[in-house]
Amino acid sequence: MVEKHKNKKEIAAVIKISSDVVYLCIAETKENGIKILEYLEHPFSIAQDAYTSGKIGAEKVEKVCAILNNYRKLIQEYGITKVKTYATTAFREAANASFIIDQIKTRTHLDTIVLDDCEEKTYIYKQMMDQMEQSPQIINSNVFMAYIGSGSLGIAVYSKGNILFSQNIRIGTMKLLEILGDLKNDQQHFYTVIQEYLSSFKHAIRKMLPIDHFDYFIACGKEIQAVAQICKAEENDGLWFFSKEAFTTLSEELKFKSPKQIGKLFPIPEIRTQFMLPFMGIYQMLLEIIQVESIGVVPSGLLESLLFEMLHQKEALKRAKKFDAHTILYAKNLGRRFFYEEEHAIKVEEYAVAIFDATKKIHHLSHRHRFLLQIAALLHDIGKYIHLKYHALHSYQIIRDSEILGLSTKELMIVANLARFHTHIVNDFYQTDFGGLTKEDGVILSKLLAILRIADALDRSHEQKGTKIEVRLKKDTVKIFLHTSSQIFLEKWIFDKKSDFFSEVFGLPILLKRGDSHES
Amino acid sequence: MTATNLEDPSLYLNRELSWLAFNERVVDEAFDKDNPLLERLKFLSISGSNLDEFFMIRVAGLKEQKHFEYTGTDPSGSTAEEQLAMISQKVHEMVKKQYLCLNRELLPKLKKSGIEFLEPEDLNQKQNKQIAEYFFTVLFPVLTPMAIDQSRPFPMLPNKSLNQAILLRKEESHEPYFALVQVPAVLPRFIELGHRGANDSRGETRKFILLEKIVALYVKHLFRGYEVLGTVLFRITRNADLSIDEEDTQDLLEEIEKSLRQRQRGFPVRLEIESNAFPEIAETLSKMLEIDGRDIYEIPGPIDLSAFMKMFDLQGFSDLRYAPFKPQLLPDVLEHDNDFFLLLKEKDLMVHHPYHSFHHVVEFLEQAANDPKVLAIKQTLYRVSSKSPIVERLIQAAENGKHVTVLMELKARFDEENNIQWAKRLENAGCYVIYGLVGLKTHCKVLLVVRQEEDGIRRYVHLSTGNYNENTARIYTDLGLFTSKEAFGADASALFNVLTGYSEAPQWNVFSVAPKGLRETVLQLIDREIGFARAGQDARIIFKINSLLDKEIIKKLYEASMTGVRVDLLVRGICAIKPGVAGVSERIRVMSIVGRFLEHHRIFYFENGGNNELFLSSSDLMPRNLDRRVEVFFPILDETLKKDVYEVLELMFSDTIKGRLSRSDGAYTRIDKRGRIPLNAQEELCKRALIRSSSYKETEKEIVFRPKVKEFDI
C-alpha cells in the first residue's frame, strides 16, 4: 500500500483542451515555484468544427473522452486530487460547448472550465511578468510582450513595473490559416501572402502603442520556445534570448517548406506544424514594428501559470492582488485616453468602496465584486468623451468594446452594465438582457449598481466636497455621513432620487447626512 | 573529396553476404582447438540454428521480392535474384565446412572423450534389442505414414520438421510407391544406448543413436505388404516472417496467435536432404515441394546441427566446457545493502552483463515492488524468459497496489508465443499491459520507478542495451545504467506516455528516440567530429554495435574518414561498410569479436574535441532499428562510468585472440599477433569482474543453466 506522508509535497494536474491539442501537465511544489513532472500532448482537432460550423461534432466527444480517460489514469498513478480541466478557443467559439462539457463530465467525471480569451491572457501575462520581474534590468525597462494563440494575438506594453496597454487582435495562427484558406497549398507564395496580409496590421498596431521605444521584446508560447531552441537561445535570469537576426534567418529558411518538412526541424506536435508559417509571419510583422535586437522568451506559459495558482494558493492571491493593481492602472489609462474626469472618478471609487465594505452583511459579495465596482467607478463617465447626452450608454459601449487587462469577458460586461445604468434605471431594468449575463449575475450587477449610484450621487457636483464618508449599517437603515465643510444641497437632492433603487435591492432605506460633526 | 560518389554500390557490402561472413566466424569458433570440445559443438550448433533463421527470414524475404518481380537493387547493387544465387553458393560452401568440422574434427574427438554416435550397423545385439523395443513401444504409436501420389496434395510438412521419404514397391509389382513419415519432434533426437540412469555414467563412454536412424531401420513395419527400396531423410525450411496487418487489427494479441499458427505453413525456402540420396526420391521431393536445385542442400551427416545443443547439456564432461563463470555482484550495491534508492541518490550505477549479475536488476525491481513509497512501475519487455523473475516482480508490485504499466512487445520474433502467455498473466494481476505502437516494434529497454519521497517525486530509471531476460543476460554482453538523474526520469516518463499512446513525442532532455530523431542525432554527432577534423583537431569515433547497415550513417562515416576522423567500429554481425578503401575509408577500421559470450552492447563514443561523450543504445545502425522500431539512445553522464565504458572499448579493440579484422572485401582475417600481448577481452573482463568483487565474499550462487541461444537477436 502506498504510504501517505503528512508533509508530502503537493501535486496538481491541469488538463487543457485547446483547438488542436489536449495537454496534460502534472507538477509538484518546488520551493517557491513548481516542478513539472509530466507533460503530455495529444493531437485533437476541433478547431475546424468550431470555426466553420460553429459546433463541435459528436464524434469528437468520444475521442476527447478517450484522451481524457487516459490522462486520468496517469493522474491516478500519482494519487492527485487537485485536477482542473480547462478549454480554450474552440470551446469559446462553439455554440454547443455547454452540451459537450456536460458529456465530458458524464464520461470522465471532469469538470471543464472554459477560459475566455482575456482570462487566458491574464494567466499568461501573470506568468510572463513573474519571470520578467526576476530580472532587475527588465523591471526598469520598456517591454513589448506578445503571445500568439490559435485564435488571437495578445500584445501588451510593460513599462517600469506596469502594464500600460494590452490588446487581443484576432490574428491567431489558426485564424490566419482559416482566412487564407486554400492559399496554404501554394508552397512557393504562402509565406509572402501571409506577410502581405499582416502588413496591413502594422500601422494600426503602431498607433495603438502608448510608447514607441522598447528595450525588450518578450514572447511566450510553445512554438516560440521551439524557435528559441533552434536559434540557440541563451539563458539569462530565467529567460531565453536569441537574436532577431537568427529569427529572420530561420523564417527565410522555412518559408518555402511544407508543414512536413517543418515538422522535421521543429520539436512540436505534428498537427501544429501547419501553423508554423503563420506563426513566424506574425512575429516577423511585430519585429518590424518593435525595433529591438533580440527576442526574449519566457519558457513557461498558461499551464504553468494555472498550476502555480493551484499549488501556491497564498502566493497566487498575492500575485492576483498585484495584478489587480495593473488592472486599476489600466482602467485609469483607458480613462485618460478618453479624457475622463480623474478626480471625480477616484472620489466615486473611494465612496463606492467605503459603502461596499460597510454593507457586507447585506450584500454578501466577494472581494472580486468589490474590484469590479472599483473599475466601474473609475470608468462610469468615460462616455462623456463622445457626448454628454446618453453618456452612460456611450460609457457602456466603450467599456464593452475595450479589453481591460485582467477582466474576463463576463466581468467586463458587469462593469459595462454598471456604467450603463449609473444615471437612469430603466423601467424594464429587471427584464433587460445585460449582454449575456445570467440571472445570478444580474443580481450581483444590481447590488453593485445600487452602491455605485449612491457613490456617484455623493460627488454629484464633481467638486469633491466630501473629505470622507462614514457608513453605518443599522438594523433598519443605512446611514451615510458625508464629511464636508461645504453645502451638499445638490448631492442630497440627487441622493434622494437615486436611493430608491438601493432600498429596492437591499430592502433597507438609505439616508444621507452631513457629517461635519459626530451627530447621529 | 567531392569527386567521390558515395552512392557508388561498390562502396557497400551486401548485407546477406556480410551476415554469412559472420556465421562463418561462428563456424570458425567450432574449428578453434583452443575452445573446449563441447563449446565447439555448441558453436557449430549455433551456426546451424542461425542458418535456419537466415533462411526463414532473409532468404524468404528475397524470394518474396523475386516472386513479386521486384527488380530494385540493394545498396551494393545486387538484385534479389543475384543475391539468392550468391547466398546459395556461399551456404553450400558453408555446409561443407560445417560437416567437415563435425565429421573430421568433433565427432572423432567426442568419441575419444567418451561421447559416441553409432550407426545401426555398429550396434551389438543388446543394443539392437534396445532400439527394437524403443521402436515398438515408443516410436511406433506416434508415427504416421503418409502415402504420396499425384492424385492428392503433398502433405503440409511443418517448418523445420525432419522427415523420412520412403520409396516402396508392392511385392511382386514393379510400380514404386512413395511415402512419408515424420520423425517425431516430440521425442529426443538422440537416443542413448544401454544407458538409463544419468548418475552411473562415470568413466563410461556414452553412446547415442539418432532417432531417424531407428525410424529408417524399422520403417518396413509401417508398410506391411510393401518392400522398402530406400529411405531418405530430409528437412524443409519455410518462410516464417510474421506479417500482420496491424492497421486493420482490433486485437493484436489475437492476431499474433493466429499468425503463429500460420508460420507452420509458409512457403518452403530450403530443402536439406541427406547425401547420396536415392535420386528418384530427391527428384520427387524437389518437384513436389517446388524447390529448385539451388535451394537443395545435400547434407553429409545428421541434418539440423542445432539439435546438437542437447549434447551440450549432457551431465558431466565439465572439462569439455568453459569453466563456469559466475556473474559477479557489485560491491557498490552490497555496500548499500541492496538499497538501490539510497545508492542511486548518490550516484549512477552501471552493470555490465554477463560479467555482473542480472540479479541486480531483479533486486531493484523487487525493492520497488515492495517499497511503500513507490507509486508506479513502468517497463518495456521484449524477450522474457519462460520463468521470468522480472515478470514475477511486476505481478507482485501490482498486487501490492502499485500502478504497473508493461509494454509487452508481442512482435519480438520467435518469442511471440511466450510473450502472449506473459501478457495474459500480467493483465490478470491488474497490470496495465500495452502492446506498443502500430507499425513499430518497441525494442528499447526501459524500466521506470516513480517514488513519492519526502522532498517530492523522484524517478529511478534503468536503461539497457539488452533485454530483461535473466537467461540471455548470462550470455549476451550488455550494459545497463541505473540512474535517478531528473533528466532521465523525465524522459523515461515521457517515453512511456508516448508508448501508451497518451502523448506525442515531447522534446527530449537526454534521450534520442527512434524512429524520429535517433538517426539524426547520430548523424549530427558524426558531423560534429567532422567539424573538429576540419578545424585540424583530433577527431575520433568508436562504435560498438551488432550490425551496421544504414546507408545514411555509412555515408556519413565515409565522409568523416575522408575529412580526417578516425573511425573504429566493432561490429559483431552484419557490416555493410568497406574499411580501408583508398580515398574513402582509409581511417575506418572494422573489427568483430565472436566469443564465448554474444557481443550485444551498443556503445557510441565521440571524441568531441577532448570533451568526449559516450552513449548507449538499444539500437543497431540498421534501417529497421532507426525507422521501424522504438529505440532509445542515451548518454552516460557520470565521468567514472564513462571511463569504465571507455576502458571496455579499449580492451575489446586490443583483443588479439577472438578479434577479427574486416578487409575491404568483407572477408575477415585474424589479428596479427606479432609484438602484441595475447588478449581475450571477454576473459579479461571476467577476471576484472572477479577482482572488483573480491572485496566482497558473497558472490552469486552458481546456477547451472543452459539457455536456448537465440543468436539472431540482432
Q: Which amino acid is at A146?
A: A
Q: What does the block give as the cell for A324? A: 489587480
Choose among A35, A221, A54: nearest CA to A121: A221
By CB neighbour count within 10 A (0-12 exposed, 13-18 middle, 19+ buried), where does A511 fall? Answer: middle
Q: Which residue from A minimizes the CA distance to B512?
A: A267
Distance, in angstroms, between A41 CA and closest chain B CA?
5
The string of DSSP letters for A308-331 reads: HHHH-HHHHHHHHHHHHHHHHHHH
Is B249 a residue whose pLDDT tops 60? Answer: no
CB spacing of A28 vs B457 below 8 angstroms:
yes
> Which range is least confidently modeled, A84-88, A265-269, B142-146, B354-358?
A265-269
Q: How far apart are CA B242 and CA A450, in angstroms?
A: 78
How far are the Cα atoms of A274, B155, B288 from residue B180, in angstroms, in the given order? 64, 9, 12
Q: Measure the N-to-C terminal CA separation of chain A; round to a whole number of Å.
A: 68
Position A164 pLDDT exceeds 60 = yes
Contact between B375 and A79 using a beta-carbon 8 Å cutoff: yes
Give Rg (Cα) of chain B.
Answer: 27
pLDDT at B232 over 70: yes
pLDDT, one tens digit per residue, over B440-499 is 889 999 999 999 998 899 999 999 999 999 999 999 999 999 999 999 999 999 999 999
pLDDT at A2: 44
**Max CA pair span of chain B:** 94
CA distance B585 to B576: 13
CB contact under 8 A, A269 and B501: no
**CA of A222 vs chain B CAs: smallest distance (Å):** 11
- Burial of residue A318 (number of CB atoms within 10 Å: 0-12, 13-18, 19+): exposed
How many angstroms separate the CA atoms of A420 and B581, rounded?
87
Model confidence, pTM: 0.87
Distance CA(B506)–CA(B494), nearest Å, equals 7
A1 touches chain B (CB under 8 A): yes
Query: CB–CB of B502 and A74 under 8 A?
Result: yes
B324 touches chain A (CB under 8 A): no
| Each residue's pLDDT tens digit, A287-327 | 999 989 999 999 988 999 999 999 998 888 988 888 999 89
Residue B316, pLDDT score: 87
Q: Which domains, from first to last, does chain A contain?
A: 11-115 (3.30.420.40), 118-307 (3.30.420.150), 313-464 (1.10.3210.10)
Interface A:B, Cβ pairs < 8 A: 77
Give the pLDDT score at B713. Answer: 38
Q: Classify strands B268-274 and B296-299 as parallel, antiparallel or unpaired.
A: parallel
Q: Rounded mean pLDDT of chain B?
A: 89
- Name the fold adopted by B514-671: Endonuclease; Chain A (3.30.870)
- Identity of the residue in A2, A5, A28 whose CB atom sits nearest the CB atom of B401: A2
Q: Would the pLDDT of B629 be above 70? A: yes
Taking the Cβ of residue A202 and every Cβ of chain B, the question of whether any pair is shorter than 8 Å is answered with: no
> Chain B closest CA to A257's CA: distance in Å?
19
- Across the interface, whether the CB atoms of B504 and A42 are under 8 A apart is answered yes
- Strand ordering across the sheet containing A478-484: A466-473, A478-484, A510-514
Q: In whole angstroms, what is the distance from residue B166 CA to residue B170 CA?
A: 13
Indicate the pLDDT class of residue B253, thresholds 50, 70 and 90: low
Return the residue matching grid coordinates 492602472.
A329
Average pLDDT, chain A: 88
Give the pairing type, strands B668-670 and B456-464: unpaired
Q: Sort out which chain A residues have CB atoms less than 8 A from B499's CB and list them.
A: none
A149 closest CA partner among A182, A165, A113, A125: A125
Which residues of B are the active-site residues?
443
Distance from CA of A64 to the nearest CA of B (A): 12
Q: Which of B377, B399, B457, B524 to probe by mutation at the A interface, max A CB count within 10 Å? A: B457
* Spatial separation of the C-alpha atoms in residues B162 and B156, rounded to whole Å: 13
C-alpha B652/C-alpha B633 separation (Å) is 21
B263 pLDDT band (50/70/90 cuts)? low
**Distance from C-alpha of B541 to C-alpha of B557, rounded to nearest angstrom:** 9
DSSP A52: I
B500 contacts A42? CB cut-off 8 A: no
Q: If you average pLDDT over each of A44-53, B146-155, B207-216, which comes out highest?
A: B207-216
The span from the CA of B291 to the CA of B286, in Å, is: 5
Give yes or no for A28 touching B (CB within 8 A): yes
pLDDT tens digits, A458-494:
998 888 888 889 999 998 899 999 998 888 888 888 9
Mean pLDDT over B314-340 rounds to 91
Q: Among all residues of chain B, which has the CA nearest to that of A226?
A: B507
Of A2, A73, A270, the CB nearest to B372: A2
> What is the model's pLDDT at position A47?
73
- CB < 8 Å to B452, chain A: 2-3, 5, 8, 78
Checking if the pLDDT of B7 tops 70, the result is yes
- Cα B383 from Cα B471, distance rounded (Å): 10
Whether the CB-CB separation of B573 and B546 falls below 8 Å is answered with: yes
Residue B557 has pLDDT above 70, yes or no: yes
Which regions of chain B carry the CATH code 3.30.870.10?
331-509, 514-671
**Cross-chain Cβ contact B503/A40 below 8 Å:** yes
Residue A51 has pLDDT above 80, yes or no: no
In A, which residues are within 8 Å of B372 by CB distance? 1-3
- Rounded average pLDDT over B403-419: 78
Confirm or reject contact between B455 and chain A (CB < 8 A).
yes
- Residue, of B148 and B81, whose pLDDT is higher: B81
What type of residue is B60?
A
Cβ distance A3 to B456 less than 8 Å, yes or no, reads: no
- Test B457 with A78 for CB contact under 8 angstroms: yes
Beta carbons of B494 and A76 less than 8 Å apart: no
Cβ A481 vs Cβ A517: under 8 Å: no
Write the DSSP symbol of residue A20: S
Is a pLDDT exceeding 60 seen at residue B704? no
Sign of CA dihedral B128, B129, B135, B138: negative
Helix (H) or strand (E) holding A469: strand A466-473
The chain A residue lying nearest B370, using CA atoms, is: A1
Residue B110 has pLDDT above 90, yes or no: yes
Predicted pLDDT at B707:
43
Partner-chain contact A1 B500, CB within 8 Å: no
The C-alpha atoms of residue A433 and residue A439 are separated, in whole angstroms, by 9
Pick among B453, B502, B552 to test the A interface (most A CBs inside 10 A): B502
Position B603 scores a pLDDT of 98
CA–CA dist A388, A371 (Å, integer):
26
Task: Please give the Cα distance from A105 to A93 (Å, whole number).
Answer: 19
Q: What are the grid coordinates assigned to A319, written together? A: 500575485
What share of chain A in percent tops pLDDT 90? 51
What's the pLDDT tens digit per position in A15-34?
999 888 899 999 999 888 89
Residue to substitute from A10, A24, A34, A74, interface B, most B β-carbons within 10 A: A74
Of A4-8, A67-71, A421-425, B424-428, the range with the lowest mean pLDDT is: A4-8
Whole-angstrom Cα distance, residue A182 to residue A189? 12
Distance from CA of A67 to the nearest CA of B (A): 7
Write the CATH number of the domain with boundaries B35-320.
3.30.1840.10
Contact yes or no for A71 and B375 at CB 8 A: no
Q: How far does the CA of residue B434 sit from the closest CA of chain A (Å)?
A: 12
Write the pLDDT tens digit of every residue in A128-145: 998 998 888 899 999 999
Structure confidence at residue B259 as a pLDDT band (50, 70, 90): low
Task: Give percent above pLDDT 70 in chain A.
Answer: 97
Give the pLDDT mean for A102-117: 93
Question: CA A195, CA A202: separation in Å to the nearest integer?
Answer: 11
Closest CA of chain B from A166, distance in Å: 31
Q: Is A77 on the interface with B (CB under 8 A)?
A: yes
Q: How far apart are CA B353 and CA B467, in angstroms?
A: 11
ipTM value > 0.95: no
Residues B467 and B354: beta-carbon distance below 8 Å: no
**A151 CB-contact burial (10 Å; exposed 0-12 / middle 13-18 / buried 19+):** buried
B339, pLDDT greater than 80: yes
pLDDT at B412: 62
Find the mean pLDDT for residues B141-155: 82
> Which fold is adopted by the domain B331-509?
Endonuclease; Chain A (3.30.870)
Q: What is the pLDDT of residues A181-209, one digit of tens each?
A: 777 777 778 888 888 888 888 888 998 89
Tell me, what's the pLDDT at B560? 97
